[in-house]
């Protein structure tokens, strides 16, 4: 195995889990964060109890608040920060990014206002750098515990996808490649709105039958929208589409499903969001998704109802029953 130098931007749950995975595999990993308590704890105890409680991190994982130290000389940079701050942070750190380094995008969702995908933000802030997105059904907590996981390294540039595949691939973390970067990023973003709807159903006390129907109709909706935006249909039936959708919609680890469940139980959105240490991307992304769908004249009934519930005060039960009581017709 080639030992690589890897910089990790962000020490949330996912950044920390990937940093630990690579450090354990023998790579030289340095993470960057501006959160002083996270840094102090990582250095003192080799844990990150705010974002990844209960996990011992490898001693070899280093961390710093100094961007030059973390980024300079890295072969790979993993951008593990929320999409809504990705442009600002990347612009700020760009001067430290080596021209030859491969960028690994692991952010999910779309940027508000521009509706832009994470990899496009990285490309515009770091022009000319090689890039792949690592996406798929991968809750950080489970990856950190060694649960068997399969993901896709997605890039139009096949060499970049294979380089990222080689970097991350291991016995319990299987990495496939996929050349449909746009489809994978749209699938990853829009599954969050469907997972919110699934969580709302859970909160209302609906069952597995309801969720099965939501998955089938949600995936159809995601793929209609994603194909209209330039993705390929088959990506929606793969790891980054269906795989990520069902994991997010059923897992107790899923933040979007959790927010939906609380809303379904009648709680207030702001109160729920205030309790969370991490971002539920779908809450913000749902509006962008609806705007995108309308601009392309794509029918997205589930996303419409999710936006109505979250942002327009529509009672969750009415919204879900509106979805279910459309006229009977061919599937």
328 binds a second copy (CB under 8 A): yes
Structure tokens at 161: 């996808």
- Residue from 28, 60, 69, 177 binding a second copy (CB under 8 A): 177
User: Does residue 191 carry a catalytic annotation?
Assistant: yes
Structure tokens at 2: 């080639």
Are 128 and 102 in contact by the 8 Å Cβ rule? The answer is no
232 binds a second copy (CB under 8 A): no
- Residue from 10, 203, 243, 260 binding a second copy (CB under 8 A): 243
325 binds a second copy (CB under 8 A): yes
What letter does residue 25 receive in the DSSP assignment?
T
H/E run at residue 13: helix 13-24
H/E run at residue 9: strand 5-9
Query: For a second copy, what does the binding mask look like between residues 251 and 290, x meaning CB under 8 A?
Result: x-x-------------------------------------
- Residue from 19, 164, 196, 239 binding a second copy (CB under 8 A): 239
155 binds a second copy (CB under 8 A): no
- Judged by beta carbon, residue 121 or residue 320, the one nearer a second copy is 320
Q: Which stretch binds a second copy (CB under 8 A): 119-127, 144-152, 266-274, 279-287?
A: 144-152
- Residue from 71, 246, 263, 308 binding a second copy (CB under 8 A): 246
- Residue from 176, 269, 298, 314 binding a second copy (CB under 8 A): 176
Burial of 164 (0-12, 13-18, 19+ CB in 10 A): buried
In the bound complex, what is the minimum distance in angstroms from residue 151's beta carbon to a second copy? 8
Structure tokens at 133: 């997105």
- Residue from 159, 208, 275, 318 binding a second copy (CB under 8 A): 208
Q: Which stretch binds a second copy (CB under 8 A): 8-16, 111-119, 131-139, 284-292?
A: 131-139
* Cα-Cα-Cα-Cα dihedral sign, residues 17, 21, 26, 27: negative
Active-site residue, selected from the candidate residues 108, 191, 211, 314: 191
Q: Where do we find the tokens 């793969």?
A: 238
Are 97 and 129 in contact by the 8 Å Cβ rule? The answer is yes
Q: Which stretch binds a second copy (CB under 8 A): 45-53, 96-104, 171-179, 292-300?
A: 171-179
305 binds a second copy (CB under 8 A): no
In the bound complex, what is the minimum distance in angstroms from residue 251's beta carbon to a second copy? 4
Structure tokens at 90: 């990347």
Burial of 157 (0-12, 13-18, 19+ CB in 10 A): middle
H/E run at residue 144: helix 140-144
Distance separating alpha carbons of residues 17 and 30, to the nearest angstrom? 13
Distance separating alpha carbons of residues 113 and 105, to the nearest angstrom? 20
Residues that bind a second copy (CB under 8 A): 136-139, 142-143, 145, 147-150, 152, 165, 169, 171-172, 174-179, 201, 206-213, 215-217, 219-220, 237-239, 241-247, 250-251, 253, 320-321, 324-325, 328-331
């Amino acid at each position: 195995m080639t030992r690589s130098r890897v910089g990790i931007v962000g020490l949330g749950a996912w950044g920390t889990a990937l940093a630990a995975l690579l450090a354990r595999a023998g790579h030289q990993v340095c993470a960057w964060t501006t959160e002083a308590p996270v840094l102090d704890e990582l250095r003192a105890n080799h844990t990150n109890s705010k974002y990844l409680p209960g996990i011992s991190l490898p001693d070899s994982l280093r961390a710093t608040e100094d961007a030059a130290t973390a980024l300079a000389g890295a072969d790979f940079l993993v951008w593990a920060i929320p999409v809504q701050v990705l442009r600002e942070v990347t612009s700020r750190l760009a001067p430290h990014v080596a021209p030859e380094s491969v960028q690994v995008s692991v952010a999910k969702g779309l940027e508000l206002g521009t509706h832009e995908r994470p990899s496009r933000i990285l490309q515009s802030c770091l022009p000319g750098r090689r890039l792949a997105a690592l996406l798929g059904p991968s809750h950080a907590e489970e990856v950190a515990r060694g649960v068997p996981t399969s993901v896709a390294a997605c890039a139009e540039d096949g060499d970049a996808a294979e380089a990222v595949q080689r970097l991350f691939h291991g016995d319990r973390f299987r990495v496939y490649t996929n050349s449909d970067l746009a489809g994978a990023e749209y699938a990853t973003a829009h599954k969050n709105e469907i997972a919110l709807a699934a969580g709302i159903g859970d909160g209302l006390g609906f069952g597995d039958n309801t969720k099965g129907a939501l998955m089938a109709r949600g995936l159809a909706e995601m793929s209609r929208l994603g194909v209209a935006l330039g993705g390929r249909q088959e990506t929606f039936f793969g790891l980054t589409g269906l795989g990520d959708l069902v994991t997010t919609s059923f897992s107790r680890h899923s933040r979007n499903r959790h927010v939906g469940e609380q809303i379904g139980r009648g709680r207030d959105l702001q109160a729920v969001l205030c309790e969370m240490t991490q971002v539920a991307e779908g809450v913000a992304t749902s509006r962008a998704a609806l705007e995108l769908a309308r601009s392309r004249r794509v029918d997205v009934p589930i996303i419409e109802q999710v936006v109505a519930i979250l942002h327009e005060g529509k009672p969750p039960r009415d919204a879900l029953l509106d979805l279910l009581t459309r006229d009977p017709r061919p599937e």
